[in-house]
């Protein structure tokens, strides 16, 4: 509130100086500057200072009334308050003028002289308030959009955890059911991945950290098979300081393991990651599996599309295609530095 009043007072002072200059413009052109009668006596300066104070209080009162009643849409009270302030200002100016007048004040003439500056102060306060109110509403709208964006991002990220967990619990269940020796390493690997997912609350992580997470994910998936499946991974990270949102790339790899045709004889999955100081190029291609998709599929890819649209609007290009029995994902991500 103090900042708003300081800004209002400064703006009023600038406005009033401009009004005085405008009124004295004809005299300034001829090299003369004077107030009222031009005597520049102490009494005249005191009267002039009193007039400024009254006009300032008028403008301030109107501004405070608008701040109080306009947001609440209490327009009758606002109108009545404006009327009281204008009438009070008129009589204050009258008493102040009589205190310095040598002769009786002619009311009709005086009314014509004083109504214009009072009206000007009312309009000044209204315009100042409307400008500030418009700026406040715009700022409020931006903050609301940011809050909605953060809420949606938090929701999207929270979806990843149960989706990821259900898939791996099914895999571990199968290993335990078959009394496979890889069951315990699978549980240990899942625990390590969940620690990264649940306790990493940063909005961005190093690209190298995300790649390490993907590699651990692939290693955990390989425990499902008696012999490791054939996977080709190519990575070239020239910018060691590159950051991306956590868990952004893993849905593509997870989708490949879930719906791809896993093979131990050929590279059924090829992943390439290339990054520099400006952008990240990611591609993932897997052979499309022939097994039936489960009804819980599709969360991961839809999730990552929404996150990309929220985090990198106009700064990414995602292509998902099926070519010659291959499911291909290509992502170009510009860091927007």
CA distance 223 to 172: 9
Closest alpha carbon to 253 in 285, 278, 287: 285
CA distances 170 to 164, 176, 183, 193, 217, Å, are 10, 10, 12, 16, 15
Predicted pLDDT of residue 75: 85
For residues 208 and 126, membership in a common domain is answered with: no
Q: pTM for the full model? A: 0.53
Does the pLDDT at position 97 exceed 90?
no
- The helix/strand/coil state of 71 is coil
Residue 326 lies in a domain: yes
Residue 57 lies in a domain: yes
Does the pLDDT at position 242 exceed 60?
yes
Does the pLDDT at position 80 exceed 60?
yes
For residues 7 and 137, membership in a common domain is answered with: yes
CA distance 39 to 201: 73
Predicted pLDDT of residue 271: 94
Query: Is the separation of the CB atoms in 161 and 300 below 8 Å?
Result: no
In DSSP terms, which residues pair with 14 in a beta bridge?
none
Beta-carbon count within 10 A of 303 CB = 19
Query: Left (φ > 0), alpha (ψ -120 to 50) or beta: where does 106 sit?
Result: beta
Number of domains in the chain: 2
Does the pLDDT at position 176 exceed 90?
no
CATH of residue 283's domain is: 3.30.565.10
Predicted pLDDT of residue 169: 78
Predicted pLDDT of residue 285: 93
Q: What is the residue-wise DSSP string for 159-216?
A: HHHHHHHHHHHHHHHHHHHTT-TTHHHHHHHHHHHHHHHHH---S-EEHHHHHHHHHH
Residue 226 lies in a domain: yes
For residues 324 and 235, membership in a common domain is answered with: yes
Q: What is the residue-wise DSSP string for 17-46?
A: HHHHHHHHHHHHHTT----TTS---HHHHH
Query: Is the separation of the CB atoms in 29 and 92 below 8 Å?
Result: no
Residue 174 lies in a domain: no
Q: For residue 295, what are the domain limits? A: 200-334
For residues 27 and 126, membership in a common domain is answered with: yes
Residue 121 lies in a domain: yes
> Band of the pLDDT at 295, cuts 50, 70, 90?
very low
Residue 185 lies in a domain: no
Q: What is the mean pLDDT of residues 271-277?
A: 91
Residue 47 lies in a domain: yes
CA distance 199 to 246: 11
For residues 237 and 109, membership in a common domain is answered with: no
CA distance 245 to 306: 13
């Amino acid at each position: 509130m103090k900042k708003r009043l300081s800004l209002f007072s400064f703006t009023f002072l600038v406005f009033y100086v401009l009004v005085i200059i405008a009124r004295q413009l004809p005299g300034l052109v001829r090299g003369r500057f004077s107030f009222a009668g031009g005597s520049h006596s102490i009494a005249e300066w005191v009267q002039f200072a009193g007039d400024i104070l009254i006009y300032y209080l008028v403008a301030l009162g109107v501004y405070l009334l608008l701040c109080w009643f306009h947001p609440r849409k209490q327009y009758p009270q606002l109108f009545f308050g404006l009327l009281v302030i204008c009438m009070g200002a008129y009589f204050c100016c009258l008493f102040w003028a009589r205190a310095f007048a040598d002769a009786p004040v002619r009311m009709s003439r005086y009314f014509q002289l004083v109504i214009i500056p009072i009206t000007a102060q009312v309009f000044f306060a209204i315009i100042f308030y409307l400008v500030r109110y418009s700026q406040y509403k715009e700022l409020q709208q931006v903050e609301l959009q940011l809050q909605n964006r953060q809420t949606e991002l938090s929701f999207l990220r929270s979806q990843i955890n149960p989706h990821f967990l259900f898939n791996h619990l099914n895999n571990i269940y199968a290993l335990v059911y078959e009394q496979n020796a890889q069951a315990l390493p699978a549980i240990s690997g899942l625990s390590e991945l969940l620690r990264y997912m649940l306790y990493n609350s940063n909005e961005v992580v190093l690209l190298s950290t995300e790649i390490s997470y993907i590699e651990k994910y692939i290693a955990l998936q390989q425990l499902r098979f008696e012999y490791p499946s054939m996977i080709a991974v190519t990575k070239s990270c020239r910018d060691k300081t590159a950051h991306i949102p956590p868990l952004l790339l893993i849905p593509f790899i997870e989708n490949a393991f879930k719906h791809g045709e896993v093979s131990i004889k050929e590279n059924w999955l090829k992943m390439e990651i290339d990054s520099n100081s400006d952008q990240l190029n990611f591609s993932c291609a897997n052979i499309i599996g022939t097994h039936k998709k489960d009804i819980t599929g599709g969360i991961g890819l839809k999730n990552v599309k929404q996150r990309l649209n929220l985090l990198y609007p106009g700064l990414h290009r995602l292509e998902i295609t099926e070519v010659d029995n291959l499911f291909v994902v290509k992502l170009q991500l510009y860091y927007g530095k």
